[in-house]
């Protein structure tokens, strides 16, 4: 006897990829970002922001994600109390800055109050550098419903770290 399949006319098509993914969904599988993702999951409000899938233009972000090697020598000034500031300094709010726009930008405001990221695009080498030392991988930008993310090779340090 043949199996009877139940049909629901309004059921979502899970194969079509119509479900939108958040930046967290797209970044989490990348092994070179495991340290950054671990830090991200420890700060609930930032995690929720990067993980949301609402199609709200006011909730888009540009995230600069340090690769694992960036953490090896540079995490010395950060403690658990500083993780929120650390993450906020790597996120540009209310803006999905694509690679072309990034190349034409001089400065970006971050979620960390009073902090900016300086941007320099080197025309001949076609490389973009943040805060004079963090090289941006603009060739492999990760786009999601709630923003865009780039891998960087150094941490973005705030000019002042609050002592807690």
Q: What is the pLDDT of residues 13-48, one digit of tens each?
A: 444 454 589 999 999 999 999 999 999 999 999 999
- pLDDT at res. 158: 75
Nearest to 157 by CA among 81, 87, 94, 99: 87
Per-residue pLDDT band at 128 (split at 50, 70, 90): very high
Q: What is the distance between the alpha carbons of residues 78 and 13, in angstroms, rounded to a whole number? A: 44
Are 64 and 117 in contact by the 8 Å Cβ rule? The answer is yes
Per-residue pLDDT band at 6 (split at 50, 70, 90): low
Q: What is the distance between the alpha carbons of residues 133 and 42, in angstroms, rounded to a whole number? A: 26
CATH number belonging to the domain at 20-152, selected among 2.130.10.10, 2.60.98.20, 3.30.110.30, 2.30.180.10: 2.30.180.10
The reported pTM is 0.83
Q: What is the distance between the alpha carbons of residues 95 and 58, in angstroms, rounded to a whole number? A: 8
- pLDDT at res. 45: 93
Pairing of β 61-66 and β 134-144:
unpaired
Domain boundaries defined on the chain? 20-152
């Amino acid at each position: 006897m043949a199996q009877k399949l139940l049909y629901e006319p309004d059921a979502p098509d899970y194969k079509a990829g119509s479900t939108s993914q958040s930046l967290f969904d797209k970044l989490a599988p990348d092994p070179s970002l495991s340290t950054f993702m671990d830090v991200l999951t420890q700060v609930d409000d930032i995690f929720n922001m990067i993980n949301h899938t609402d199609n709200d233009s006011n909730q888009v972000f540009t995230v600069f994600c340090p690769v694992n090697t960036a953490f090896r020598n540079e995490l010395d000034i950060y403690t658990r109390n500083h993780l929120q500031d650390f993450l906020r300094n790597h996120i540009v709010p209310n803006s999905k800055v694509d690679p072309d726009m990034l190349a034409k930008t001089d400065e970006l405001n971050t979620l960390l109050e009073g902090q900016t990221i300086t941007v320099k695009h080197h025309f001949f080498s076609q490389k973009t550098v943040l805060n004079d030392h963090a090289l941006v991988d603009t060739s492999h930008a990760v786009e999601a419903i709630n923003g865009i993310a780039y891998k960087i090779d150094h941490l973005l340090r705030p000019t002042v770290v609050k002592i807690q």
